[in-house]
Amino acid sequence: MNKKKYQSIFAILLALVLLMVIWGVVPVFRNLGIIDDVIISSPSQVANAQTRSIVPSSPPIINIVFPQDGQGNAVAVEQSRAVNVSAWYPEAVNCNPPEPALSLYYLGQRMYVAKNNEPLEAVNIKPYLTVKNLTGRSFPAIVFDNIPVNLSEDPSSKYSLVLASRDSVGNGSVWIHGIDSRTISPYPISPLGITKVDPKNGPWDLDSRIQIVFPHDEHGSYTASESATFVNVAVDLFKHGTLESVPLDYPNAALQNYVREPYLLIAEGNQPFSEGENNKRWLPQKTTYTINGKTYPRWVFNDIPVTPGTTYHFMVLVGRGSRPPWVTTFPTVWTHAADTRTIMPEPQVPPACIP
């Protein structure tokens, strides 16, 4: 071993010894007041916020939707041409989020919009961060301005607004903008054919359209939405942007590495979507139906419990397989509610931010 190698090894050993010595005397110096307290913390620990970046443990929630005329002036819901949306995390966070939290947890959010029972699409509007003060508490809020939702031309329509991360719409907070929040769809969409699906060409972009939500009691008998304690949710899958259904054997054995079966997500009020209590994934029963002599697949989620008088939103995503290309789902949002009005909830004020 040459001299340079000996010197390198000696330098490394010396550095390790010095590090051990310094670490050992830190408590002594701290007790003597020579150095300040050293904090090593996780986001859940209570510590001086200046020493750490607080990572939110839950998604941001839409709390304010401001209807406007497209020029920023306040108007009634049915006269709105656009909306401004404000959302924030329901917990205490940094007053001035550092990077990368700023771009990842705040400005990394996207807004998805759908009219009536059409699939959600991302809106090309970038959010910005502002500080709000409500009931004496200051906190950062994510704001999207001038989202186009034109009710003035069609007051009977409604828009679904979903705030979610760039990775998946499935963790988003939902808000329905309209006079009647319910999904009224007496005539389900009829397929115009069957698309060809193969492992090489996909399609990897799918529209999941909820076609029927059947409210019923504990015996399976139909009952009105305002008194139902269960619902069945039926969804059809189409090639994105078309009315071409996936084939009857979807997903067949050749696709098992790329896609899985659909799964249901549920949101109560304007809370984020989730897979249900304790993240229990609702699994569907695969069925078929026939239109004009052609038979198509349908997936039905049976006996989903609901509480009368509570607003629920449903959407369905297609599970990803074990390797890419990944399937991307563009879901519709179905709102199950007894009250026909758009209720503007009182904003849920979070704890004051931490400097």
Confidence class of residue 247 from pLDDT cuts 50, 70 and 90? Answer: very high
Q: Residues 294-325: pLDDT tens digits?
A: 999 999 999 999 999 888 999 999 988 888 88
Distance CA(186)–CA(178), nearest Å, equals 19
CA 312, CA 307: separation in Å to the nearest integer? 9
Over residues 258-265, the mean pLDDT reads 90
Are 197 and 331 part of one and the same domain? yes
Task: Kindly state whether residue 43 falls inside one of the protein's structural domains.
Answer: no
Judged against a pLDDT cut of 60, whether residue 341 lies above it is answered with no
The answer to whether residue 232 is domain-embedded is: yes
Give CA–CA dist 103/97, Å, rounded.
9
Q: Are residues 242 and 319 in the same domain?
A: yes
In this model, does residue 172 exceed pLDDT 60? yes
Within this chain, do residues 157 and 268 fall inside the same structural domain, yes or no? no
CATH number at residue 254: 2.60.40
Residue 39 in any domain: the answer is no
The residue type of 278 is: N
Residue 258 lies in a domain: yes
How much of the chain, in percent, has pLDDT values that exceed 90?
A: 52
**Where is the domain boundary, 178, 206, 228?**
178
| 6-49 pLDDT, tens digit each | 556 656 666 554 555 444 443 333 333 332 322 222 333 333 43
Residue 255 and residue 164 in one domain? no
Residue 230 lies in a domain: yes
Residues 245 and 273 in one domain: yes
| Residue 129 domain-assigned (yes or no) | yes
Within this chain, do residues 140 and 207 fall inside the same structural domain, yes or no? no
Residue 205 carries which side chain, given as an amino acid letter?
D
Number of domains in the chain: 2
Q: In which domain, by residue range, is 143 found? A: 55-178
Q: What is the pTM of this model?
A: 0.80
Is residue 285 a part of any domain in this protein? yes
Buried/exposed 14-26: b ≥16 CB within 10 Å, e otherwise: eeeeeeeeeeeee
Pair 197, 86 in one domain: no
